[in-house]
Amino acid sequence: MQHTNIESILIVGGGTAGWMSAAALAKILGREKVKIRLVESEDIGTVGVGEATIPQIQRFNIMLGLDDNDFVKKTQATFKLGIQFVNWRKQGHSYIHAFGDVGIDVDAIPFYHYWLKLNHTNPDADIGEYCLNTSAALNRKFMRPINNPNSPLSNIPYAYHFDAGLYAKFLRQYAENLGVERIEATIDQVNLRDSDGFVESVTLKNGKQLAADLFIDCSGFKGLVIEEALKTGYEDWSHWLPCDRAWAVPCASNKAPTSYTRSTAHSAGWQWRIPLQHRIGNGHVYSSKFMDDQEAKNILLSNLDGEVLAAPKQLRFTTGKRKQFWNKNCVAVGLSSGFMEPLESTSIHLIQSSLAKLISLFPTKDFNQANIAEYNRQTHFEFEKIRDFLILHYHVTERDDSDFWNYCRTMEIPDSLAQKISLFRSTGKIFRESYEMFSELSWFEVMQGQGLMPSSYHPLTDLTDDAVLHERMSKIRQAIKTSVDLMPFHEDFIAQHCAANKM
């Protein structure tokens, strides 16, 4: 059988999504058989935020063959071991949702059940004391994992905080070196084929037309191709994720960078703090139904670590997802595919995951509908699982000090999330569904961090004698503490391995 292979791809947009797509496709498809072009408009610009990531991004960088230190230097990056949530459960309370393991599972029973068992009768140590990433983050430590499976230091999953503009620039250089052609222009019109409504070409403001077999829509929130031309439709989730605006502002950094992102809840949303080598990225994400723009801006500006470095920028969005992510010969990647707000730094991951699925379901010119349907099925599933995880943060709270929190605490939630909460509340059990992104441990850390404690725990933990359990728990805590003591400070690690040029 002869395939009618894709010969040309047009990437519409040059933000993080556009340049990640260009880099990945150029690396995998090569320059010989497929022509890849990217159009971006400096007049329109990019969203300019999106600086915290999750560990999966390392796989993306490895696939591209990037050197980790070089990447950190060129993007003014720091390392991230998790996210600290301040004031989310109630004012004055904080917890960390860390990457990586918590304790050690015994006989296939997850560790957290043993912790719950001890907690049931007698409050046990903070769960964070059993997690290397949490303990290291709170002590501002960081190192890359070592190659010794017997040491807790062999398991330190990490991500990055980086400068979004520098990241796009870095990937642009990479993609152009692999033959991607960049066209600086504004697209005026998207042209559909009369016969089947597929995208045929785009017309630029200067009148030039660019045709391609496959279009990757990375044009941001508006979805120039997937929505404005193909009218695919959008599923609005703002009744579950009510934040719809953000103010973002960089400020000077006067202290050594933390090895975690901080998310501080306010009365109608939350504020991010993302430390980079040359500055701190800050933003206040809020619901315009519950707070006006000026108040949101004032809150942001009065909660900064240092001098403001640029004028605050406002962003507006509607949380939700596209009704189809792949429609005809157009695949929406990045903000054009949907946006669920930045609370768990999942958007850049969704770009990466869209690209991985696109590669594994890569089409021919026939655009087999079963292939497209499978891509959409997998992506809907992924979005919905992340959505549930995000809603959990808002819904499971003791906060009753504002209309916003009263709304979130009492709102109807998706059945899938209600079922997960109900199982945990009554049995302490959590299950990860097929290729859902967040692990049982992530769910556990956030559920218990937000104050949801189950009335029971796994019955098989009773097979372990309490005295033996106490001793085991104490050994784990000690091993974590000893390991964290050995780790260098985050700033020292950066200075030694990957300090960026001063800006």
Specify the DSSP class assigned to residue 202: E
- Residues in binding contact with ligand FAD, number by CB under 6 A: 38
Q: Report the residue number, 50 or 110, with the smaller CB distance to ligand FAD.
A: 50
3-state secondary structure of 281: strand
Interface with ligand FAD, residue 335, by CB under 6 A: yes
Residue 116 vs 333, nearer CB to ligand FAD: 333
Query: Distance (Å, rounded) from C-alpha 129 to C-alpha 136?
Result: 10
Q: Residue 300 or 487: which CB sits closer to ligand FAD?
A: 300
Pairing status of strand 330-332 against strand 280-286? unpaired
Helix (H, G, I), strand (E, B) or coil at 183: strand
Q: Identity (one letter) of the amino acid at 6? A: I
Binding status of residue 250 toward ligand FAD by CB under 6 A: no
Single residue of 10, 11, 15, 116 touching ligand FAD by CB under 6 A: 15
Using CB under 6 A as the binding rule, the residues of this chain from 409 to 438 that contact ligand FAD are none
Least distance between ligand FAD and beta carbon 167 (Å): 9
Give the nearest distance from C-beta 339 to ligand FAD in angstroms: 6
Q: How far apart are CA 359 and CA 398, in angstroms?
A: 44
319 binds ligand FAD (CB under 6 A): no
By CB under 6 A, is residue 50 in contact with ligand FAD?
yes
Instruction: Pick the piece of the chain touching ligand FAD (CB under 6 A) from 142-150, 227-235, 339-347, 490-498.
Output: 339-347
Helix 369-395 with 347-360: angle, nearest 10 deg: 160
192 contributes a contact to ligand FAD by CB under 6 A: no
Q: Nearest distance from residue 182's CB to ligand FAD, in Å?
A: 11
Interacting positions 62-121 with ligand FAD (CB under 6 A): none
CB hemisphere CA count around 260 (13 angstroms): 23
Nearer to ligand FAD, 176 or 492 (CB): 176
Determine the Cα–Cα distance for residues 234 and 257; give it in Å rounded to an integer: 38
Residue whose CB is less far from ligand FAD, 52 or 446: 52
Write each residue from 260 to 289 as x if it is in contact with ligand FAD (CB under 6 A), else as -, in one continuous string.
-----------------------x-x----
Nearer to ligand FAD, 232 or 461 (CB): 232
In which element (H, E) is residue 218 found? none
Residue of the chain from 51, 244, 382, 384 that contacts ligand FAD (CB under 6 A): 51
Judged by CB under 6 A, the residue of 52, 131, 241, 441 near ligand FAD is: 52
Per-position x/- string for 201-240, each x denoting binding to ligand FAD as judged by CB under 6 A, each - no binding:
-----------------xxx---x----------------
DSSP string, 31-91: SSS-EEEEEE-TTT-------B--TTHHHHHHHHT--HHHHHHHTT-EEE-EEEEESSSST
Cβ of residue 192: shortest distance to ligand FAD, in angstroms? 16
Nearer residue to ligand FAD within complex by CB, 17 or 392: 17
Q: At a CB cut-off of 8 Å and minimum separation 6, what does 102 contact? A: 111, 112, 115, 127, 130, 131, 134, 441, 444, 445
219 three-state secondary structure: coil
In whole angstroms, the minimum distance from the beta carbon of 231 to ligand FAD comes to 17
For residue 224, the 8-state DSSP code is: I
Structure tokens at 110: 């997850």
259 counts as binding ligand FAD under rule CB under 6 A: no
Answer yes or no whether residue 55 interacts with ligand FAD by CB under 6 A.
no
Task: Give the nearest distance from C-beta 61 to ligand FAD in angstroms.
Answer: 14
Side chain identity at 314, as an amino acid letter?
Q
Cα angle at 113 between 108 and 114, to 5 degrees? 95
Decide the pairing of beta strands 320-322 and 338-339: antiparallel
User: Read out DSSP for 306-350?
Assistant: S-B-S--EEEE---EEES-SEETTEEE-GGGGEE--STT--HHHH
Residues 159, 187, 296, 361: which binds ligand FAD (CB under 6 A)? 187
Q: How far apart are CA 15 and CA 437, in angstroms?
A: 24
Single-letter residue type at 331: V
Please give the structure tokens belonging to residue 100. 């990586």
In the complex, the residues that contact ligand FAD under the rule CB under 6 A are 13-18, 39-41, 44-47, 49-53, 164, 186-187, 218-220, 224, 246, 248, 283, 285, 315, 317, 334-336, 342, 345, 347-348
